[in-house]
Amino acid sequence: VATSVAELAKLVGGRVDGDGTRPVHGISSLAEAGPDQISFLANPRYAQQVLDTRAGAVVVDERFDGDVATTLIRCSNPDAALARIAEVFAPEGPVAAPGVHPTAVVSPTARLGEGVSVGAMTFIDDEVEIGPGTILRPNVTIGRGATLGGQCLIYPQVTIRERCRLGDRVIVHAGSVVGSDGFGYVMDEGRRIKVPQIGCVVLEDDVEIGANVTIDRARFGETRLERGVKIDNLVQIAHNVRIGEGTVIVSLCAIAGSTTLGKNCVLAGQVAIDGHLTIGDNVIMAAKSGVTKDVPSGSVIGGFPAQGHKADLRLKAELRRLAGSGGRLGAIERRLAALESPAAQNEGD
Amino acid sequence: VATSVAELAKLVGGRVDGDGTRPVHGISSLAEAGPDQISFLANPRYAQQVLDTRAGAVVVDERFDGDVATTLIRCSNPDAALARIAEVFAPEGPVAAPGVHPTAVVSPTARLGEGVSVGAMTFIDDEVEIGPGTILRPNVTIGRGATLGGQCLIYPQVTIRERCRLGDRVIVHAGSVVGSDGFGYVMDEGRRIKVPQIGCVVLEDDVEIGANVTIDRARFGETRLERGVKIDNLVQIAHNVRIGEGTVIVSLCAIAGSTTLGKNCVLAGQVAIDGHLTIGDNVIMAAKSGVTKDVPSGSVIGGFPAQGHKADLRLKAELRRLAGSGGRLGAIERRLAALESPAAQNEGD
Amino acid sequence: VATSVAELAKLVGGRVDGDGTRPVHGISSLAEAGPDQISFLANPRYAQQVLDTRAGAVVVDERFDGDVATTLIRCSNPDAALARIAEVFAPEGPVAAPGVHPTAVVSPTARLGEGVSVGAMTFIDDEVEIGPGTILRPNVTIGRGATLGGQCLIYPQVTIRERCRLGDRVIVHAGSVVGSDGFGYVMDEGRRIKVPQIGCVVLEDDVEIGANVTIDRARFGETRLERGVKIDNLVQIAHNVRIGEGTVIVSLCAIAGSTTLGKNCVLAGQVAIDGHLTIGDNVIMAAKSGVTKDVPSGSVIGGFPAQGHKADLRLKAELRRLAGSGGRLGAIERRLAALESPAAQNEGD
């Protein structure tokens, strides 16, 4: 792909500051871009890199005030501009021609929308419904009675179990499992008996699920991820969890059964949340948080058991300072004892 | 499925308290059930929900004493009753007709018991033995010389590596790997050399393995999960680990090599256990515990490094109280200095 | 396989101390080995086990000075000797005959080197290149334009996405995903937009990847694991991470985006490292570390936020001692108040 700085500026609604005729053949980071590539400054923290970059052009915020020779594209949202420009230079993806690969196995009772692409060795069970334009890559398994919306993209080795329902434009990365049995047993006369998990999983429109994620079906009812939820790799979502619109969960988190998360929360890596809790909207959880009780909307929390994030950081800092105090305490007690002794009192006389 | 309160009471050995002729068409939680559904009160904590439920009937403990208009089924173990009733209403599962799907690849030297079902695109290598009634879903891979008992259920995308042995009624959920190489290297003249992992994995009768779990084969000998062990999703079991009968492990735990767990232990989420340790029977580990030494039977532990769970909670609570003590210490020292100064002594005169 | 103590000693460059003619039919641990098996003492901590073993022979360090009747093979590196001897007794692996299984789907534009083995139901997309002697087990998916070196071993259910590049002798265990999209979104007018992840993953020679691992492709450029990196099961490597030669990462670790690790680091289980950090060479991280800032070469760290490992252990120990100090502080304050009171002063008179 070859284009120019001016054309890219037009694409992203930006303003050229420098030579708009400059040809652009690719996109890269400030550190790695060469003279025929465009780069971008998303985080002002890295402004120094704009001075040092070999990039032919750089996308910056319209208020950027660095004194640089490089051609700039100034725009109101460099992050969004980057996403759009990256699409221009994205290498051609896998060929996923509409139609069913001859080695795929599709039940005669499955219904496939227009333009659906079914990859090699993919299995589609009875009564499955798939919306128009959805792409199933090779070696995928779709269970009986599952429904997928339109324009979904299901990567290889994914399992979507029976009766799960996906909205439109849902992306599921390789190796993930949607609709595995919830982890539920009851004791009966000393033996552990499996509780049938007869519910399903619902992934609403625009949900994206990372690689090797596991999302358990509900015991009854649904495990539901609302519109636009984004899940990173290796995350565990237990049965009957509900995750609100736009919430983002980073890798290796675990949400235990029947917990509800609000909208637009952000969970950093390795967070664990107990079962049967209610987490509000816009909650931010620091990495490795362990959440043991309900959390009101707007909270920023951290630590285990989780508390306010600032309080948690302050606690850790204070404890580090305190850790040396064992000696201080002993010294104080010795000084006190000296003051309290009759001799001390006498000295005072 | 349609039945009545009286029939369900009979099924679970319970007693009807109200209208036994009431029709029941499904099962759901107290919050979600409608008038033609049955629900249950497993945890007395949620007794209030029995007052508010729209469910047509509720399964409760025989000693339940709430003053409610709803029809009740009283029984000695509502949990177990629930599991049984849920089976009644379970939707029909995937059709897994006995026989080998025409697209499956089964070695001529493999031996399949009566009624075995082999799904589409499933691969069964040489010398594999599979007991009667076992179901392999699509896209499964069974390695050379592995043996599976009867009535097992192996979900899609599972890999069972060569020479692993599964008992009867073992369930392995989608994407799990049984018998991957243990993680073992030795240094030789500055290079890291792989130690061959020539052992296997044994899963005894009634073991259930969640989705995307990894269980490494032994270096020599066996990695063994005894009868009735239940493993949640995304758990790592390293080489030569042994897990005692009935032990339950929640998601994202990691058990390092050669550690032995006793019977009927319960590990909450994200626990890590060091290698070469011995954990007794009936040990309970709180979420995120990090276990660094042997643990006697019957312990309840938590924290990192793990200690008694109550001691760990007390420690955390005390440290939170202490965290403000930096100022207290300084104030004490100032007061002491004042008392110790000659002036102070003089004042005292 | 049957051999003798003398032959095995010769193989590993060791010296027989005892009966070299003794036949050896297998290898096992000291605790489990029988009289026709060889075993080994790798860790001097377990020297006692050499006294108790029933093994026919034991490989020990040349300086081992236990007074035992058992035949010994003394050598300079018992660990490496063990690895070599284990190979002698490794059971025959899966049959992976050169050639393409008739059920595999290989694009006509893919190029396969001499002796390549492609398992049943494996899918190889357009323009893939695979070096000589590489083995792909069943149900593998290789994306468009990916390249694999020679003598690689790719286990079942693995996905290698488009344009990723593997060197020679790379091993990828079952269920792992190489080249999933990095987790990147930008906000644009209140909506979260996916940033195209147009880079790739490079695994250099002799890299080994455990089971159900996820390695994200770079946003631009590469996510790169240098020569000899070894990754355990269920590890998450985010986009644009670079991991230096010989580094070892144990299970359930998460490395966030754009972080660089040096050479020969060792990360124990469940470590998390923030994004955009630089970790030096030869850094050791204790289990469950949470790393929030750059780490100089040669550091041994632990805790969260991570600090020097010894300092972290000391901190934890001191805090446990301190935790009881709340009462001590109160007592001190009461004693101080008593000393400060006029009465006290009067008593002193």
Residues in B closer than 8 angstroms to C95, CB to CB, are 125-126, 144
SS3 B88: helix
Is residue C102 very low, low, confident or very high in pLDDT (cuts 50, 70, 90)? Answer: very high
Average pLDDT of C331-342?
Answer: 84
* Residue C181 contacts A, CB cutoff 8 Å: yes
What confidence tens digit (pLDDT) does each residue in C265-291 have?
A: 999 999 999 999 999 999 999 999 999
pLDDT at A42 exceeding the cut of 90: no
CA distance B341 to chain A (A): 10
What confidence tens digit (pLDDT) does each residue in C225-260 have?
A: 999 999 999 999 999 999 999 999 999 999 999 999
pLDDT at B348 exceeding the cut of 70: no
pLDDT at A194 exceeding the cut of 90: yes
Least confident residue range of A234-248, A270-284, B72-86, B200-214: B72-86
pLDDT above 70: percentage of residues in chain B: 97
Residues in A closer than 8 angstroms to B29, CB to CB, are 219-221, 240
Average pLDDT of A115-135?
Answer: 97
Interface test with A, best of B37, B59, B157 (most A CBs within 10 A): B157
Residues in B closer than 8 angstroms to C329, CB to CB, are 325, 328-329, 332
pLDDT at A94: 67
pLDDT at A262 exceeding the cut of 80: yes
Cβ neighbors of C283 (< 8 A, separation 6 or more) are C261, C262, C265, C266, C295, C296, C297, C298, C299, C300, C301
Least confident residue range of A91-100, A126-135, B52-61: A91-100
Least confident residue range of B105-114, B198-207, C183-192, C300-309: C183-192
CA distance A195 to chain C (A): 27
Residues in A closer than 8 angstroms to B12, CB to CB, are none
Q: Which amino acid does the sequence have at A88?
A: V
* Residue A156 contacts C, CB cutoff 8 Å: yes
Is residue B343 very low, low, confident or very high in pLDDT (cuts 50, 70, 90)? Answer: low
Residue B178 φ/ψ, nearest 5 degrees: -110, 115
What confidence tens digit (pLDDT) does each residue in A211-248 have?
A: 999 999 999 899 999 999 999 999 999 999 999 999 99
- Which chains are adjacent to chain A, needing at least 3 Cβ pairs under 8 Å? B, C
Out of B123, B187, B220, name the one closest to residue C28 (CB).
B220
Dihedral angle computed from the Cα positions of residues C6, C8, C13 and C17, in that order, rounded to the nearest 10 degrees: -40
Q: Which amino acid does the sequence have at C90?
A: A
Instruction: Give residues 47 to 76 of B whose Cβ lies within 8 Å of A.
Output: none
Query: ∠ at Cα A15 (A11, A17), nearest 5°?
Result: 130
Average pLDDT of B46-74?
Answer: 91
Question: Which of B167, B157, B151, B153 lies closest to B115 in space, CA to CA?
Answer: B151
C121·A121 Cβ contact <8 A = yes
Mean pLDDT of chain A, nearest integer: 93
Cβ neighbors of C1 (< 8 A, separation 6 or more) are C25, C26, C88, C89
> Which strand (E) or helix (H) includes residue A72?
strand A71-75
The Cα–Cα gap between C30 and C48 comes to: 10
Which one of the listed residues A25, A101, A173, A239 is annotated catalytic?
A239
Cβ neighbors of C100 (< 8 A, separation 6 or more) are C106, C112, C116, C118
Beta bridge partners of C144: none
The answer to whether the beta carbons of residues C150 and C171 sit under 8 Å apart is no
C186·A250 Cβ contact <8 A = no
Is residue C345 very low, low, confident or very high in pLDDT (cuts 50, 70, 90)? Answer: low
What confidence tens digit (pLDDT) does each residue in A145-179 have?
A: 999 999 999 999 999 999 999 999 999 999 999 99
Q: What is the pTM of this model?
A: 0.94
> Which strand (E) or helix (H) includes residue A242?
strand A242-243
Average pLDDT of C15-20?
Answer: 95
Out of A234, A325, A339, name the one closest to residue C214 (CB).
A234
C139·B121 Cβ contact <8 A = yes
Residue C101 φ/ψ, nearest 5 degrees: -60, 140
**Better-scored residue on pLDDT, C46 or C213:** C213
Question: Which of C278, C190, C258, C262 lies closest to C226 in space, CA to CA?
Answer: C262
* Residue B136 contacts C, CB cutoff 8 Å: no
pLDDT at A292 exceeding the cut of 50: yes
* Residue A326 contacts C, CB cutoff 8 Å: yes
B175·A328 Cβ contact <8 A = no
What confidence tens digit (pLDDT) does each residue in B103-155 have?
A: 999 999 999 999 999 999 999 999 999 999 999 999 999 999 999 999 999 99
- How many beta-carbon pairs below 8 A join chains B and C? 203
pLDDT at A39 exceeding the cut of 90: yes
pLDDT at A343: 61
Mean pLDDT of chain C, nearest integer: 93
Residues in C closer than 8 angstroms to A155, CB to CB, are 159, 161, 180
Active site residue C309: no
A252·C254 Cβ contact <8 A = yes
Give me the long-range contacts of A110-117 (CB less than 8 A, separation at least 24): A113/A150
Instruction: Give residues 224 to 283 of C whose Cβ lies within 8 Å of A.
Output: 234, 236, 238, 240, 252, 254, 256, 270, 272, 274
pLDDT at B332 exceeding the cut of 90: no
pLDDT at C109 exceeding the cut of 90: yes
Is residue A95 very low, low, confident or very high in pLDDT (cuts 50, 70, 90)? Answer: low
pLDDT at C344 exceeding the cut of 60: no
Out of C105, C322, C336, name the one closest to residue A120 (CB).
C105
> Which strand (E) or helix (H) includes residue A85?
helix A78-89
> Which strand (E) or helix (H) includes residue B336?
helix B325-340
A251·C187 Cβ contact <8 A = no
CA distance A236 to chain B (A): 7
β-strands A300-302, A290-291: how paired? Answer: unpaired
Instruction: Give residues 289 to 308 of B whose Cβ lies within 8 Å of A.
Output: none
CA distance A276 to chain B (A): 11
Out of A157, A321, A329, name the one closest to residue B326 (CB).
A321
A176-185, A314-323, A326-335 — most confident range: A176-185
Question: Which of C161, C159, C167, C158 lies closest to C144 in space, CA to CA?
Answer: C161
Interface test with C, best of A121, A180, A208 (most C CBs within 10 A): A121
Is residue B344 very low, low, confident or very high in pLDDT (cuts 50, 70, 90)? Answer: low
Chain-centroid distance of CA A163 in Å reads: 25
CA distance C112 to chain A (A): 19
What confidence tens digit (pLDDT) does each residue in B251-302 have?
A: 999 999 999 999 999 999 999 999 999 999 999 999 999 999 999 999 999 9
pLDDT at C106 exceeding the cut of 70: yes
The Cα–Cα gap between A166 and A230 comes to: 14
Is residue B349 very low, low, confident or very high in pLDDT (cuts 50, 70, 90)? Answer: very low
The Cα–Cα gap between C161 and C201 comes to: 9
Distances (CA, A) of B222 to B150, B253, B255, B278, C279: 21, 20, 15, 16, 37
Mean pLDDT of chain B, nearest integer: 93
A144·B95 Cβ contact <8 A = yes
pLDDT at C94: 67
* Residue B180 contacts C, CB cutoff 8 Å: yes
